[in-house]
């Protein structure tokens, strides 16, 4: 039998590097967003504040509040476009590397040329595959609307409390930090999900071309592994491989599929487990 564990761990190392890169890029995007929001708020304080305080009642005059909220939505929306673009870019990069490395590895281990390419429409389908009922674009749109609403709510409370500009600029940190954490969770979850899906796409090509395989579940073997995935690693260990055509089943969550694509948030969110394939024969 030919084990693909080494090659699949290589894919996982690329995934880690790409996620780290995305975290840095998105961190810079949030820094830009914070600065632009502070600048815009400063303009409104300069125009309408009295004694350094801008009260909400002053903003309600002459439809100013509508213009203010529109400005906040615009600034957040423009910057969130860059954040969403980086998340999608990280996903596409992960798909490409996972598919190509898997195709090459299976071909070498099976001593057979495996035919197949990752067509753009397939890559996009993997990237946008519904997760918890929503596509990636729909989740990103939802996140943008949520952070717009959160920032407006924080600012409205600040105006009602009579906060000065410096205080108002400071309270922006909380919703932005929370949203950054959520963006990072999306990056980690989505990159892992599409990496495993692209790996499966390559393995499907091999299976259709006569490569017989089994697969097993490999967890990360550290303190962050969820208990149910420790169970999966024992239930579907290297010594207890199942046919490639069979799905993994997690009785503790009801999830079915492969790591990152089990169909439940309890399984898929922040999952780092790997599906490892073994070639057991070639027809």
pLDDT digits (tens, 9 = 90+) for 82-95: 999 999 999 999 99
Cβ contacts of residue 122 below 8 Å, gap of 6+?
201
Structure tokens at 14: 């690329």
Specify burial of residue 231 (Cβ count, 10 A radius: 0-12, 13-18, 19+).
middle
CA distance 35 to 159: 19
pTM of the model: 0.91
For 48-103, write each residue's pLDDT tens digit: 999 899 988 888 899 899 999 999 999 999 999 999 999 999 999 999 999 999 99
Checking if the pLDDT of 132 tops 80, the result is no
CA distance 194 to 207: 19
Query: What average pLDDT score do residues 220-232 get?
Result: 93
What proportion of the chain, given as a percentage, has pLDDT over 90?
88
Nearest to 276 by CA among 234, 215, 227: 215
Its sign, for the CA torsion 239, 240, 242, 247, is: negative
How much is the pLDDT for 283?
87
Structure tokens at 143: 């996140």
Count the Cβ atoms, other than its own, within 10 Å of residue 130: 11
Straight-line distance from the first to the last Cα atom of the chain, in angstroms, rounded to the nearest whole number: 14
Structure tokens at 258: 């492969």
Structure tokens at 182: 């959520």
pLDDT, the chain, mean: 94
CA dihedral 16, 21, 24, 29 (to 10 degrees): -120
For 240-267, write each residue's pLDDT tens digit: 999 999 999 999 999 999 999 999 999 9
Phi, psi (degrees; rounded to nearest 5) at 52 = 80, 0
For 140-196, write each residue's pLDDT tens digit: 999 999 999 999 999 999 999 989 999 998 999 999 999 999 999 999 999 999 999
Q: Are 197 and 131 in contact (CB under 8 A)?
A: no
How much is the pLDDT for 91?
97
Confidence of residue 1 (pLDDT cuts 50, 70, 90): low
CA distance 215 to 231: 16
How much is the pLDDT for 221?
84
Q: Are 9 and 200 in contact (CB under 8 A)?
A: no
């Amino acid at each position: 039998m030919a084990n693909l564990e080494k090659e699949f761990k290589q894919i996982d190392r690329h995934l880690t590097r790409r996620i780290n890169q995305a975290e840095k890029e998105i961190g810079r995007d949030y820094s830009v967003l914070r600065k632009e929001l502070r600048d815009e708020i400063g303009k409104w304080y300069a125009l309408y504040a009295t004694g350094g305080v801008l009260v909400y009642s002053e903003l309600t005059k002459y439809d100013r509040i509508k213009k203010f909220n529109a400005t906040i939505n615009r600034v957040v929306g423009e910057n969130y476009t860059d954040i969403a673009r980086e998340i999608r870019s990280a996903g596409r990069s992960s798909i490409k590397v996972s598919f190509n490395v898997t195709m090459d590895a299976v071909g070498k281990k099976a001593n057979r040329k495996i035919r197949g390419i990752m067509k753009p429409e397939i890559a996009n389908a993997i990237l946008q595959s519904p997760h918890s009922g929503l596509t990636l674009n729909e989740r990103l749109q939802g996140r943008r609307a949520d952070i717009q609403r959160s920032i407006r709510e924080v600012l409205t409370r600040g105006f009602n409390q009579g906060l000065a500009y410096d205080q108002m600029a400071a309270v922006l940190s909380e919703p932005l930090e929370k949203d950054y954490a959520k963006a990072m969770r999306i990056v980690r979850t989505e990159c892992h999900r599409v990496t495993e899906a692209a790996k499966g796409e390559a393995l499907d090509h091999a299976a259709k071309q006569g490569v017989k395989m089994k697969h097993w579940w490999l967890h990360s073997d550290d303190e962050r592994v969820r208990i149910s995935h420790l169970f999966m690693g024992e239930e579907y260990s290297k010594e207890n491989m199942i046919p490639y055509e069979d799905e993994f089943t997690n009785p503790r969550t009801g999830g079915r599929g492969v790591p990152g694509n089990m169909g439940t948030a309890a399984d898929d969110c922040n999952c780092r487990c790997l599906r490892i394939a073994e070639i057991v024969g070639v027809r």
